[in-house]
A and B are shown apart, each in its own frame.
Chain A
Amino acid sequence: GQNIDQPTEMTATEGAIVQINCTYQTSGFNGLFWYQQHAGEAPTFLSYNVLDGLEEKGRFSSFLSRSKGYSYLLLKELQMKDSASYLCAASGDSGGGADGLTFGKGTHLIIQP
């Protein structure tokens, strides 16, 4: 089975940096995804980590430590439009390849002026 934990809610200030943590326990772990979801909308892909280390993509970076079962999403130069839920999702290997993702409950990020 798979279990994913992330904080329910975080608040940050426009222009600042925020780090959203995610811990996971999964059998046959094979990658960690981060998605952004605005209220009432579909999740949109932000990042994918399969190896340990930091992946940087513009204002967003994602880090993975497989040995610790830990990931974080780092958002820099926060903008008001970054107010959304950030979903941590892990994939486990059931051998099929076309497998679904297991999502955490999401972290609701509130950006204040």
Chain B
Amino acid sequence: DAGITQSPRHKVTETGTPVTLRCHQTENHRYMYWYRQDPGHGLRLIHYSYGVKDTDKGEVSDGYSVSRSKTEDFLLTLESATSSQTSVYFCATSRDSLIGAFFGQGTRLTVV
């Protein structure tokens, strides 16, 4: 399995504050993804990256930004957290689009 570490694993934050979640991988995978998981919605793609400094929006990108300055790190920032962004966030990585993706253990974010 790929070495994927998400940090923090749990976070409680207040509405209106910025929050950054980190995904770190040790497998030199090219592709990295951020998803949020909510009951009834499955896994929804927020942003993804197909290389260093190459990122694009997914289906639920409003209120989120990302950065990837080096292969191993993919950061997700909630610019001004809202209660609707309370969710479990998963990072996933893949070496190639023809190969399956590996998921991190998730970050549970609560916005109060």
Same complex origin of A and B = no
Using CB atoms and an 8 Å cutoff, list the residues of chain B in contact with chain A. Answer: none
Using CB atoms and an 8 Å cutoff, list the residues of chain A in contact with chain B. Answer: none
